[in-house]
C-alpha cells in the first residue's frame, strides 16, 4: 500500500504500524523518509510519479499536505488540492481498493466554539485561511470521487501530539522556554486532542473499514482521544512532561484575537519565511472549546483510542528524558 507524505510524523507512525502488522508499505515524499521502508521520492503534484508509485498497490493513505500558515495561496492550493486530485485520479485509474484521505477538522469550522460537534461538511470560499481553504477543497474533491468502485473515507485527526512531534509539542515547549507562551482567556476552554498512536490506529481502522458499500464511504470522521480537557491542563501537562517549569501568562480572548489579527498582517511583511507567534486563528483555537462527538468514528470505523491522555503524557515525558531534551 502507498502512504503519501512520508516525512510527516503521523504518516511515518502509520506506516510503521502497518508494516508491523505485515502490510507491504511504500512511502512517497520529496525528501528521504529515513525509514527502513520502500520509498519513492517524488512531489505529490507530479501526477505521473504518483500514478507510478501507486501501481500495484491495493490501498492508499493520502497524508501529504502543506501545513502551517507560511506560503502563498497558490503554494497551498497546488500541494493540497492538486496533490489530492492526483492521488484520487491515480487510484481510480488503477482500481485501488481502498483510499483514506487525511483531512483536518478545520475544513468545516473556523473560530467559534465547538462543543461535542459533528464532522460537518467542508466549507469552501474562505479567504485568508489558505491551509483550511485548500484542505476543504481537497476533501470535497476526494469525497466527491468516492463510490463503491473507489471506496474512500476522509479522516480528520484533531491536534495530533506525541513523542517527536515538532508541530504542537515542539512549539509549545519552545515558546515556553523562550518565555513567550500565553494562555488565551484563562485556559478553561475544553480541547480534545489526539495522541499520535491513536491517530495512526484511526487511519489503519479507516483503511480496514473502507470497503465497498460500507457506511463510512464518502464520509468524513473527526478523530480525537475523546477526552476533552481544559487547554491549560493540556499545556501544563506537556510542559511538565518536557520538564519545563513555566507558568504561562494569561491573555484575554478578545485581546488575543485582536493582537493575532494585527500580527498576521504585519508579520507577513517583516518575516515571510517564519510562522508568526500569534494568529487570529490560533488565538481562537486556543481560546474557545474544540471537541467532537466521538460516536460516529467508533460506530462506522470500529475504532477506539487505546492510549489515554495521561498515558500519552507519560510516554512523552519518557521520550523527553530518553532524548535528553
Residues with catalytic function: 131
Q: Does 317 bind another protein (CB under 8 A)?
A: no
Stretch that binds another protein, among 9-17, 94-102, 215-223, 225-233 (CB under 8 A): 225-233
Q: Does 186 bind another protein (CB under 8 A)?
A: yes
Stretch that binds another protein, among 4-12, 28-36, 66-74, 181-189 (CB under 8 A): 181-189
Q: Does 282 bind another protein (CB under 8 A)?
A: no
Q: Which of 136, 146, 289, 313 binds another protein (CB under 8 A)?
A: 289
Q: Which of 146, 190, 200, 301 binds another protein (CB under 8 A)?
A: 190
Provide the b/e sequence for 219-235 (b: ≥16 CB within 10 Å): bbbbbbbbbbbbbbebb
Q: Between residues 63 and 114, which has the closer beta carbon with respect to another protein?
A: 114
Q: Could you give the angle at which helices 231-241 and 169-177 cross, rounded to 10 degrees?
A: 80
Q: Does 277 bind another protein (CB under 8 A)?
A: no
CB of 299 to another protein, least distance (A): 10
Q: Which of 105, 151, 294, 312 binds another protein (CB under 8 A)?
A: 294
CB of 227 to another protein, least distance (A): 6
Q: Between residues 56 and 302, which has the closer beta carbon with respect to another protein?
A: 302
Q: Does 247 bind another protein (CB under 8 A)?
A: no
Q: Does 116 bind another protein (CB under 8 A)?
A: yes
Q: Report 192-211 residues binding another protein (CB under 8 A).
A: none
CA distance 178 to 250: 16
Stretch that binds another protein, among 28-36, 152-160, 173-181, 186-194 (CB under 8 A): 186-194
Q: Does 291 bind another protein (CB under 8 A)?
A: yes
CB of 249 to another protein, least distance (A): 15
Q: Does 187 bind another protein (CB under 8 A)?
A: yes
Written as nine digits, the cell of 302 is 470500529
Provide the b/e sequence for 297-309 (b: ≥16 CB within 10 Å): beebbebebebeb
Q: Does 307 bind another protein (CB under 8 A)?
A: no
How many residues bind another protein (CB under 8 A)? The answer is 27
User: Which parts of this chain interact with another protein (CB under 8 A)?
Assistant: 113, 115-116, 184-190, 226-230, 232-233, 236, 253, 287-289, 291, 293-295, 298
Amino acid at each position: 500500500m502507498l502512504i503519501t507524505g512520508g516525512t510527516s510524523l503521523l504518516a511515518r507512525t502509520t506506516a510503521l504500524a502497518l508494516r508491523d502488522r505485515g502490510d507491504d508499505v511504500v512511502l512517497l515524499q520529496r525528501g528521504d523518509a529515513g525509514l527502513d521502508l520502500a520509498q519513492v521520492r517524488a512531489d505529490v503534484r507530479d501526477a505521473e510519479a504518483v500514478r507510478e508509485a501507486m501501481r500495484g498497490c491495493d490501498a492508499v493513505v493520502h497524508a501529504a499536505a502543506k501545513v502551517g500558515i507560511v506560503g502563498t495561496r497558490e503554494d497551498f492550493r497546488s500541494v493540497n488540492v492538486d496533490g489530492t486530485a492526483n492521488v484520487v485520479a491515480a487510484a481510480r485509474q488503477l482500481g485501488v481498493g481502498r483510499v483514506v484521505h487525511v483531512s483536518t477538522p478545520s475544513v468545516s469550522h473556523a473560530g467559534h466554539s465547538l462543543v461535542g460537534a459533528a464532522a460537518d461538511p467542508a466549507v469552501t470560499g474562505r479567504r485568508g485561511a489558505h491551509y483550511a481553504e485548500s484542505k476543504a477543497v481537497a476533501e470535497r474533491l476526494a469525497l466527491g470521487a468516492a463510490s463503491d468502485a473507489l471506496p474512500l473515507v476522509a479522516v480528520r485527526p484533531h491536534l495530533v501530539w506525541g513523542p517527536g512531534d515538532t508541530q504542537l509539542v515542539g512549539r509549545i515547549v519552545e515558546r515556553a522556554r523562550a518565555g513567550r507562551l500565553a494562555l488565551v482567556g484563562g485556559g478553561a476552554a475544553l480541547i480534545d486532542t489526539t495522541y499520535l498512536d491513536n491517530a495512526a490506529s484511526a487511519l489503519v481502522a479507516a483503511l480496514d473499514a473502507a470497503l465497498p458499500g460500507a457506511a463510512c464511504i464518502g464520509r468524513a470522521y473527526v478523530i480525537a482521544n475523546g477526552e476533552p480537557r481544559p487547554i491549560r491542563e493540556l499545556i501544563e501537562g506537556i510542559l511538565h512532561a518536557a520538564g519545563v517549569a513555566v507558568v504561562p501568562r494569561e491573555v484575554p480572548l478578545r485581546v488575543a484575537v485582536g493582537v493575532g489579527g494585527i500580527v498576521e498582517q504585519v508579520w507577513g511583511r517583516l518575516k515571510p519565511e517564519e510562522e508568526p507567534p500569534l494568529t487570529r486563528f490560533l488565538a481562537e483555537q486556543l481560546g474557545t472549546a474544540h471537541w467532537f462527538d466521538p460516536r460516529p468514528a467508533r460506530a462506522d470505523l470500529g475504532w477506539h483510542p487505546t492510549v489515554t491522555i495521561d498515558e500519552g503524557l507519560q510516554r512523552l515525558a519518557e521520550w523527553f528524558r530518553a532524548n535528553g531534551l
